Amino acid sequence: MDEIKNLFDIPYYQLKHCPQEKAIGHQTEDGWTFWSIQELIDDANRVSRGLIELGVQPGDKIALISYKNRPEWNVMDIGLQQVGAIGVPVYPTISPREYEYIFNDAGVKYAFVSMDGKGDLLHKVRNAKPNVPTLEEIYTFDKVDYAPYWKDIFKEGDHSEVERRKAAVDPDGLATLIYTSGTTGNPKGVMLSHNNILSNVREVVPQIPLDPGDKALSFLPLCHIFERNVSYVYMASGVNIYYTGTDNLGGETGDLQNVKPHFFTTVPRLLEKVYEKIYNKGLELTGAKKKLFFWALDMTDDYEYDKAYGGLSGMKMKIADKLIFSKWREALGGNVKGIVTGAAACPAKMARVFSAAGVPIREGYGLTETSPVLTVSRFKKDGALLGTVGPVLEGVTLKIDPSDGDYREGEGEILAQGPNIMQGYYNKPEATAAVIQNGWFHTGDIGKFVKDSKGNEFLKITGRKKALLKTSGGKYVAPEPIEKRFTEDFLIGQMMVVGEGKKFVSALIVPAAEALKDWCDDNDVPCTLHPSPHNETLYCISPETLKNEKVRAKFEEIIKEINPDFSHIEQIKKFDLLCDPWDVSTEELTPTMKVKRRVVRKKYKDQIDAIYDV
């Protein structure tokens, strides 16, 4: 891959080494539509010539916004890079105020938006335009009568100026501005160079078990560096990319069955939802079938990566695989070689259950500021350890800094060095200086290195520095490992630990609505669900259900069962059950599904106060 100097070289690399007729595609009203790698390059060149015709200069900023991933996004991404422009991918779900802020901070000149999903992106950006003096025009990826179409900029003809521009692009120059979805304050524009991202891509490609012509499903947003990096990895590997949405994955007609992918990336919550469905189907079984299902599930309890089953346990595992696990694999299409989770902590139970069933789950770790991969669990033997985020990526250096905090033995803030570390935050030198000190990027995450039985070293994340809370007794508690463990229970959908300045630790719990409904039906408890008014794919639970004594007792039982996994000061003493799920649309979650703790504490102040009222 040495011949790849800039990100826009990647499709040309595929064309030379492993050209694909179905390089990238998505579903339209007429079914699946694909670009060959040659067609992608040809359209990207039409975009490049068109942008030059529009007067786009090197360094100009162009925003890309879409609810669902689509090939047009990649065409624009490559096309604008070739002329030295800077791509600004923007989350579709942010507020109009944030659009205005980002567009002004970046100085966006043109915006390209989709009309899918809610169809409101054009409206949002148009509303922001009068207050963004740099924004000259808004184009749509879907043809409508009331806005210019993205192909209107396509230009044929002489290509010499594009080639001149390409040759002038510095691999260490700014390639993209990605605005982080901060939990507080305005988002910050992370400046990443071509080489920042490419250094990551080069090292990740050998770690992914893929061959040219394999199929990958892509549904995590391309505006996030995780999936964008992976899309470059797929393209460089000659993998056929199938873009879809999370609303069209499961079921007999979903894209897992339709595409039968070899690989995809995901966030842990999606795996949890799949597991919940599998578990609930098991509960619906009767007699011998039900016993067999839960016998097979119990077989996964002691699973570890690379574990060899022999003798009686080997025979049992073969039976479980033939009768139960094979059906799970078929539900995911039957061809999955591996799945990588990121963006949030993956419960060890999810990785254990799916991997034991022949669907290898691996976890990676990184940040937008690190392009993003710092560590990733390998699929090869001795390359992964449950409960960790894998070995350090080649070319990256990590160290644990215990100097600024009250940490347990071996723990500290994770600091990073490497060619993947961002250039800084756009227009924010003070914020940059706060996180890059003496050549080390301060991640804000807390972790430690652990070793397996063979001495291989892996990184374990133990918390988030800003999320640490301090009890009135002066003890520090890291909420995230506690939340991660409790949400492994299928009845707990979301959870946030509270207790800053209090004598003990408590929790706000959002039950997993559909799982709770099944439990209530089995236990003769009235349970009413209704779609969330903010997101029709989520369900709210009636207050009467959550006040039911049996329901309260069940959650007390779960807490009593899991509490011993933690020290006395970390154990949950009290809790409250919440009716409404947390979501991006209601601002409790960032677009990358991280809990905005300040927002939740403010929104549920009365409930928290009631927990601690004596």
CATH code for position 72? 3.40.50.12780
In a domain, 342, yes or no: no
Q: Please give the pLDDT value at position 475.
A: 74
Q: Partners of 457 in the beta sheet?
A: 451
Phi and psi at residue 53, in whole multiples of 5°?
-60, -35
Cα separation, 222 vs 226, in Å, equals 8
Report residue 334 as tokens. Answer: 């039957």
- Residue 555 inside a domain? The answer is yes
* Residue 340 structure tokens: 């990588």
Q: What is the enclosing helix (H) or strand (E) of 268?
A: helix 268-284
Residue 184 has pLDDT above 70, yes or no: no
**Which is more confidently placed, 597 or 82?**
82
Q: Is the CA virtual torsion 429, 435, 441, 444 positive or negative?
A: negative
User: What is residue 476's DSSP assignment?
Assistant: E
Reported as a pLDDT band with limits 50, 70 and 90, residue 75 is very high
% of the chain at pLDDT higher than 90: 66
Alpha-carbon distance of 373 to 225, in angstroms, equals 9
331: region left, alpha or beta (phi > 0 left; psi from -120 to 50 alpha) = alpha
The pLDDT tens digits of the residues spanning 527-562 come to: 999 998 888 778 999 999 999 999 999 999 999 999
Token pair in block for residue 77? 């991404």
**Domain C-terminal end among 229, 244, 264:** 264
- Assess whether pLDDT exceeds 60 at residue 342: yes
pLDDT tens figures, 196-247: 999 999 999 999 999 999 999 999 999 999 999 999 999 999 999 999 987 7
Contact status, residue 148 vs residue 115, Cβ threshold 8 Å: no
Helix (H, G, I), strand (E, B) or coil at 62: strand
Query: Do residues 611 and 578 lie in contact, with contact meaning Cβ atoms separated by under 8 Å?
Result: no
Domain count, the chain: 2
DSSP 455-498: --EEEEEEEEGGG-EE-TTS-EE-HHHHHHHHTTSTTEEEEEEE
**DSSP assignment, residue 537?**
T
Angle among Cα 104, 439, 387 to the nearest 5 degrees reads 90
Can you give the pLDDT at residue 595?
A: 85
For 191, phi then psi, to 5°, come to: -90, 115
Q: What pLDDT sits at residue 175? A: 98
pLDDT for the residue 118: 67
Q: What is the mean pLDDT of residues 430-457?
A: 94
Under a CB-based contact definition with an 8 Å cutoff, are residues 510 and 494 in contact?
yes
DSSP β-ladder status, 572-577 and 505-511? parallel
Question: By the 8 A CB rule, do 386 and 411 touch?
Answer: no
Last residue in a domain, options 238, 264, 290: 264
Non-local (6+) Cβ contacts of 172 within 8 A are: 193, 194, 195
Token pair, residue 413, equals: 């803030």
pLDDT at 587 exceeding the cut of 60:
yes
Among 55-64, 346-355, 542-551, 591-600, the range scoring the smallest mean pLDDT is: 591-600
- Which residues lie across from 140 on neighbouring strands? 113, 149
Query: Residue 376 pLDDT more than 90?
Result: yes
Per-residue pLDDT at 64? 98
Decide if pLDDT at 179 tops 90. yes
Quick one: pLDDT at residue 25? 96
In a domain, 326, yes or no: no
Asked whether the beta carbons of 39 and 50 are under 8 A apart, the reply is: no
The domain of 492 spans 469-612
CA 597 to CA 187: how far, in whole Å?
Answer: 16
Least confident of 403-417, 441-455, 571-585: 403-417
Please provide the distance, in angstroms rounded to a whole number, between the alpha carbons at the two ends of the chain: 65
Is there a domain that residue 91 lies in? yes
- The verdict on whether omega for the bond into residue 372 sits within 30 degrees of 0, i.e. cis, is yes
What are the C-alpha distances in Å from 447 to residues 52, 132, 551, 564? 47, 42, 35, 21
What is the distance, to the nearest Å, from the Cα of residue 562 to the centroid of all Cα atoms in its chain? 27
Measured between alpha carbons, how far is 290 from 276 in angstroms, rounded to an integer? 16
- Cβ(65)–Cβ(114) below 8 Å: yes
Give the 3-state secondary structure of residue 181. coil
CATH number at residue 572: 3.30.300.30
H-helix or E-strand containing 431? helix 429-435
More confident residue, 337 or 568: 337
**What own/partner pairs with CB < 8 Å and gap ≥ 24 does 204-207 have?**
204/229, 204/230, 204/233, 204/373, 204/376, 204/393, 205/1, 205/233, 205/236, 205/237, 207/376, 207/378, 207/379
Query: Which tokens go with 274?
Result: 């799949």
CA distances from 235 to 11, 22, 258, 377, 432 (A): 6, 11, 21, 21, 32
At residue 345, does pLDDT exceed 80? no
Residues sharing a CB contact under 8 Å with residue 540, sequence separation 6 or more, in sequence order = 513, 529, 530, 531, 532, 579, 580, 581
Could you tell me where the beta strands, DSSP code E, fall in 487-533? 492-498, 505-511, 529-531
Rounded to an integer, the average pLDDT of 432-444 is 95
Q: Is 71 a domain residue?
A: yes
Question: Does residue 252 or residue 576 have the better pLDDT?
Answer: 576
- Residue 363, domain member (yes or no): no
Q: What is the mean pLDDT of residues 261-288?
A: 85
Cα separations in angstroms, 71 against 25, 37, 419, 480, 555: 6, 11, 28, 36, 45
Are 178 and 368 a contacting pair, CB within 8 Å?
yes
Q: Do residues 372 and 416 make contact, with C-beta atoms less than 8 angstroms apart? A: no
Instruction: Give the model's pLDDT for residue 614.
Output: 58
Contact 385, 379 (CB under 8 A): no
DSSP letters for 93-105: TS-HHHHHHHHHH
Residue 474: pLDDT over 80: no
Span 592-606, average pLDDT: 86
pLDDT recorded at residue 331: 85
The residue ranking higher by pLDDT, 460 or 595, is: 460
Residue 183 confidence (pLDDT) above 70:
no
In a domain, 605, yes or no: yes
Query: What is the mean pLDDT of the segment spanning 333-343?
Result: 91
Residue 272 in any domain: the answer is no
What integer is the mean pLDDT of 115-139? 90
Distance CA 61, CA 587 (A): 27
pTM, whole model, 2 decimals?
Answer: 0.82
Across the range 258-275, mean pLDDT stands at 88
- 332 vs 9, more confident: 9
Q: Residue 200: its pLDDT value, please? A: 96
With contact defined as beta carbons under 8 Å apart, do 69 and 103 qualify? no
Identify the pLDDT of residue 182.
55
